[in-house]
Amino acid sequence: MSANTLSAATPAHRGASHLRGAALVGCGSAVPATSLSNSDLSARVETSDDWIRSRTGIGARRVAGPGETITTLAAEAARAALAHAGWEAQELDLILLATSSPDDLFGTAPRVQAAIGASRAVAFDLTAACSGFLFALITAAQYLRNGSFTKVLVIGADQLSRWLDWDDRRTCVLFGDGAGAVALEACEADEDGLVAFRMRSDGSRNACLTLAQTEHHRPLVGDTSAQIGGFATIHMNGQEVYKFAVREVPAVLAELLASTGLEASALDWLLLHQANQRILDAVADRFAVPHERVLSNLAHYGNTSAATIPLMLDEAVRDGRIQSGHLIASSGFGAGLSWGGALLRWRGPQAS
Ligand code: UT7
């Protein structure tokens, strides 16, 4: 467990190595061109628009077509975030890509680095499923706070359409593809956009939601054999994951509020991982957050895993709902099991 609640740097920390903050100063997103509606899916599996909408809030999802990959989507989101922040790619020190569906198991972030021409940046992947973006944002912020880096891009991108059993109605209706990116810049500690955070893992419940290696062995010499790589499709115990989410997300957000002394009424927005509208509503009700303060784009994109939070952030910044200075309570949750929360202060420019 890690926890961190910001306290202002003491004078002893001032100077070149004083503890600094991480300001959220730009965002961008990208989704594939093809949209698949609930009715489209009901032509393939035994389901209906009514069932999907009433149980999840999802109306459609984007599915990557030929030529659309994690690299292309992440690069498009990255370019948009750079433009929004007013940065050149060459200024970036770090690109952190949260994904569970990489184009290359050795890492996809370097491909994104090359695609956008961020030649100075170190680039690597971070995997934590639907918690991935939040974990990456928190991780990146530490490099800014400790003075290692000045300009960082955090990207959440997933293409789970690659890993779905499109004949399994329990999972194929839920997920979609997309990417979102946030630009983070070093700032003074009292301007820190990462006001507080919590990160949690419980591997004992890993079997609830997996995208696991398949067991294939290839005989080599004598009795020896080698395992051959390959993954199964997404397996989820929906009810268990639902119960986990409605228990743990409010708990982690309550901890964050208690640790900062803030009341839920101080929140401008609830920006949760977009998995199910019923989960969003349950968390909002727990904190008496009015539903118009709960951000949701499930109707258009479904669950895009690591991309949901930055995709939603970008939409709400660009349409003017999220404004500079707003306080956002965010939570990611999913496979691992993993979950976490963060109180974020948005500092970026308004819609362009
Ligand atoms: O991003 C990672 C985090 N993931 C989540 O947070 C997902 C959490 N879980 C959920 O959101 C919900 O559990 C689901 C949306 C996945 C499922 O909703 P549910 O209300 O828990 O449904 P259920 O699994 O209890 O299934 C109820 C019925 C079953 O039929 P029977 O056994 O009652 O006859 C299912 O077979 O609904 C059936 N069903 C469907 N029917 C039509 C399951 N999927 C479908 C479907 N269309 N697509």
Tens of pLDDT along 268-299?
999 999 999 999 999 999 999 999 999 999 99
Indicate whether 135 belongs to any domain: yes
The answer to whether the CB of 70 falls within 8 A of the CB of 102 is yes
Omega before 337 within 30 of 0, i.e. cis: yes
Of the candidates 12, 234, 223, 266, which has an alpha carbon nearest to the alpha carbon of residue 129? 234
Tokens for 170, please give them: 């329990």
Residue 298 CA to residue 57 CA, distance in Å, equals: 6
User: How would you class 144 by CB atoms within 10 Å of its CB: exposed for 0-12, middle for 13-18, buried for 19 or more?
Assistant: buried
238 CA to middle of ligand 1, Å? 6
303 labelled catalytic: yes
Of ligand 1's atoms, which has the minimum distance to the CA of residue 130?
A: 1
> Residue 6: its pLDDT value, please?
38
pLDDT tens-digit profile, the chain (352 residues)? 334 333 333 333 344 456 589 999 999 999 999 999 999 999 999 999 999 999 999 999 999 999 999 999 999 999 999 999 999 999 999 999 999 999 999 999 999 999 999 999 999 999 999 999 999 999 999 999 999 999 999 999 999 999 999 999 999 999 999 999 999 999 999 999 999 999 999 999 999 999 999 989 999 999 999 999 999 999 999 999 999 999 999 999 999 999 999 999 999 999 999 999 999 999 999 999 999 999 999 999 999 999 999 999 999 999 999 999 999 999 999 999 999 999 999 998 876 5
CA–CA distances in Å: residue 138 to residues 22, 32, 145: 9, 27, 10
174 CA to middle of ligand 1, Å? 9
Indicate whether 352 belongs to any domain: no
Number of domains in the chain: 1
CA–CA distances in Å: residue 182 to residues 84, 151, 314: 10, 11, 8
Using the structure block, give the residue that is written with the tokens 């991108």: 157
> Which is catalytic among the residues 27, 38, 300, 303?
303
Neighbours of 148 (CB within 10 A): 12
Indicate whether 299 belongs to any domain: yes
Residue 143 CA to residue 149 CA, distance in Å, equals: 6
The residue contributing the CA closest to ligand 1 atom 12 is 238
User: What percent of the chain is modeled with pLDDT above 90?
Assistant: 93
Range of the domain at 256: 4-204+234-345
Tokens for 136, please give them: 């990456």
130 labelled catalytic: yes
Of ligand 1's atoms, which has the minimum distance to the CA of residue 305?
A: 1
Given the DSSP bridges, would you call strands 122-126 and 94-98 parallel, antiparallel or unpaired?
A: parallel
The residue contributing the CA closest to ligand 1 atom 2 is 334
User: How would you class 279 by CB atoms within 10 Å of its CB: exposed for 0-12, middle for 13-18, buried for 19 or more?
Assistant: buried
Of the candidates 265, 257, 332, 256, which has an alpha carbon nearest to the alpha carbon of residue 293? 265
Chain Cα centroid distance, residue 15: 33
Average pLDDT, the chain: 94
The residue contributing the CA closest to ligand 1 atom 47 is 47
Indicate whether 216 belongs to any domain: no
Indicate whether 210 belongs to any domain: no
Indicate whether 226 belongs to any domain: no
Indicate whether 23 belongs to any domain: yes
323 CA to middle of ligand 1, Å? 36
Q: Which residues of 100-132 are buried (b: 16+ CB within 10 A; e: fewer)?
A: bbbbeeebbbbbbbebbebeebbbebbbbbbbb
> Which is catalytic among the residues 130, 172, 187, 208?
130
Model pLDDT for residues 145-200, shown as the tens digit of each residue: 999 999 999 999 999 999 999 999 999 999 999 999 999 999 999 999 999 999 99
- Report the CATH number at residue 43: 3.40.47.10
- Residue of 38, 55, 211 best suited for mutating to test ligand 1, as the one with most atoms within 8 Å of CB: 55
The residue contributing the CA closest to ligand 1 atom 42 is 47
65 CA to middle of ligand 1, Å? 27
Q: Which residues line ligand 1 (CB under 6 A)?
A: 47, 51-52, 55-56, 130, 169-170, 173, 238-239, 241-242, 245, 275-276, 279, 303, 334
The residue contributing the CA closest to ligand 1 atom 41 is 47
Indicate whether 220 belongs to any domain: no
242 CA to middle of ligand 1, Å? 9
200 CA to middle of ligand 1, Å? 25
Q: Give SS3 for 292.
A: helix
Long-range contact pairs involving 256-261 (C-beta distance under 8 Å, separation at least 24): 256/196, 256/197, 256/198, 256/329, 256/341, 256/342, 256/343, 257/287, 257/329, 257/343, 259/3, 259/5, 259/196, 260/5, 260/195, 260/196, 260/343
273 labelled catalytic: yes
Using the structure block, give the residue that is written with the tokens 């301007």: 191
